[in-house]
Amino acid sequence: MFEGFDPILLARIQFAFTVSFHFVFPAFSIGLASYLAVLEGLWLKTGKQLYLDLFKFWVKIFAVAFAMGVVSGIVMSYQFGTNWAVFSDKAGPIIGPLMAYEVLTAFFLEAGFLGVMLFGMNKVGRGLHFASTLAVAIGTLISATWILSANSWMHTPVGFEINAAGQFVPSGSWWTIVFNPSFPYRLAHTVIAAYLTTAFVVGAVGAWHLLKDRADPHARKMFSMAMWMAAIVAPVQIVAGDMHGLNTLEHQPAKVMAMEGHYQSHPDGAPLILFGIPNSAEKRVDYAVEIPKASSLILKHDANAPLAGLDTVAPQDQPPVGIVFWSFRIMVGMGMAMLCIGLWSLFARFRKRLYDWPLLHRAALVMGPSGFVAVLAGWVTTEVGRQPFTVYGFLRTAHSASPLEAPAVGASLIAFVLVYFAVFGFGTWYILKLMAKGAHRGEDAIDVDAPIRTAGITPGPAQHPEGKQ
């Protein structure tokens, strides 16, 4: 049924599908791991049962999300060898070690302490358990660091040479490769996005239960903490995004041209196109709503600064404008909506109506998935904007794929779609079910019925002298 299809396009769709599923769960678990560390730290410091209840509530959700993230990540990594074998061969000497460092540092750290965090609340001391929670939180950040370093190198490749076999190999210090030009900006932007994603999920859960019971102390605390995060971190993300955009303009100008919809160069200041319909055939944006010279002001901090357009880029090197143009606006739109919710919550807090403003709670509930939408839109902007290259400027996507026929790639794509929606759909449903129940006083830990021994003879229930249990 896939005869006549482009196998490279199908391989790209398959990778985009699987990585989209994978990206959703780490974007949530990175922020949630840090939130759990904060909750447990506040419990140890204040002794308030409320924080312990919230920790036990969210750790169950973290366990499911973390498991789905690991499973989806393993599946995704296999595609480097199945669908993108040429890329793996050519870029493997650099990408391979970076991915291995992620396993040796982050994954082993998380795996070593995850069990203690999930099942050890009643088995180890408070200090050791808190240390385990911190280790898991730090592990998620280290994992993001290595993955983003590898991905950033593909966007801004440095510190390499190409050997006789056509492979990218290190030419000097590995630190040059790890800390490539776009890596610090991409890391900051992505980690902050993960924190905002978690904040709005927590805020939505709190808002849901506040709409049912405004006096619920657990819902109040969740909502308050989430809104503080939104109010403080959303403006920081806008600044980080601006810095990331300026770095992209320096190293990947064609991507920014596509994001801005600049088909033509503007020697006397470029307009900021708010909305429109990119028309690549005619090299213009139809029905454009724009602010004169605002793009030059944002990107160059000078309203009259010239900005080059896609007319300066060879047609075969231009990214797909329509996808990048709209995904960028979805990401920015979500970011501005997050900022508005954060500012609204500050106003409500000032008016002492944070827990008594149903319209705010409904808005926060609607914004619950906004972080996921934003990170996916940002990923699409980043990765599609890199096209037609896998290693920017050096290795084209068309030259990176495995020599597979379209039916083989299409069959595996259909299998992935069916299995992913079944497995991860059920997992997502279960997470939503846990969220709907809400936290309550005396929340049960995960390890209520966990065995107390892992080897040897497990003691049975204690017996009374009369033989009664």
In this prediction, residue 453 carries a pLDDT of 47
Q: What are the tokens at 301? A: 């901090």
In this prediction, residue 223 carries a pLDDT of 95
What band does 458 get if pLDDT is binned at 50, 70 and 90?
very low
CA-to-CA distance for 109 and 103, rounded, in angstroms?
Answer: 9
pLDDT at residue 176 greater than cutoff 80? yes
271, 291 contact by CB (below 8 A): yes
pLDDT tens-digit profile of 390-405?
999 999 999 999 988 8
pLDDT at residue 3 greater than cutoff 80? no
pLDDT at residue 350 greater than cutoff 70? yes
In this prediction, residue 405 carries a pLDDT of 87
pLDDT at residue 463 greater than cutoff 80? no
Model-level pTM? 0.88
pLDDT over 70, % of the chain: 94
Average pLDDT across the chain, whole number:
88
Q: Is the dihedral of CA 396, 401, 407, 410 positive or negative?
A: negative
User: Average pLDDT, stretch 338-354?
Assistant: 94
For the chain, what are the domain ranges?
Answer: 7-265+308-437
CA nearest to 263, candidates 252, 277, 250, 242 = 277
pLDDT at residue 135 greater than cutoff 60? yes
- DSSP-assigned letter for residue 307: B
Annotate 236-284 with DSSP letters as a single string: HHHHHHHHHHHHHHHH-HHHHHHHHT--S-BTT---EEEEEEEETTTTE
pLDDT tens-digit profile of 279-329?
988 999 999 899 999 999 998 888 999 999 999 999 999 999 999 999 999
Pairing type for strands 395-396 and 272-279 reads: unpaired
Q: Which segment of 13-22, 226-235, 441-450 scores lowest on mean pLDDT?
A: 441-450
